[in-house]
Amino acid sequence: MPEIQPNHYGTGNGESSYRRLALLEYGYKCQKCGYEANKAAIEVHHKDHNRENNTIENLEVLCANCHAIHHNTRA
């Protein structure tokens, strides 16, 4: 069966280390709009768009909506 998730998401057995790090630091709350009603809608964004750069300074917790808006509106 082919993998559905990108490799940077990890194995699917729990959360990836960068995601876990960001959520421990910032919590399950969107840093843009404050959304926190549904943990499943919370994502972790790489600010510099480099998925290899998993420093806490490069990670941002966003709701799925803010994350999609960011990626669909950037130049």
Return the pLDDT at 15: 59
Return the pLDDT at 16: 81
Return the pLDDT at 18: 96
Return the pLDDT at 32: 98
What is the Cα–Cα distance from 58 to 41, expressed in whole angstroms?
20
Residue 48 within a domain: yes
Cα-Cα-Cα-Cα dihedral of 49, 18, 56, 42, to 10°?
80
Domain extent, residue 60, equals: 27-75
Return the pLDDT at 73: 87
Residue 18 within a domain: no
Residue 19 within a domain: no
Question: What's this model's pTM, rounded to 2 decimal places?
Answer: 0.78
Domains: count for the chain: 1
Residue 5 within a domain: no
Residue 1 within a domain: no
What is the Cα–Cα distance from 24 to 32, expressed in whole angstroms?
17
What is the Cα–Cα distance from 62 to 70, expressed in whole angstroms?
10
Return the pLDDT at 5: 45
Mean pLDDT per block of 10 residues along the chain (75 residues) reads 48 71 98 98 97 97 98 80
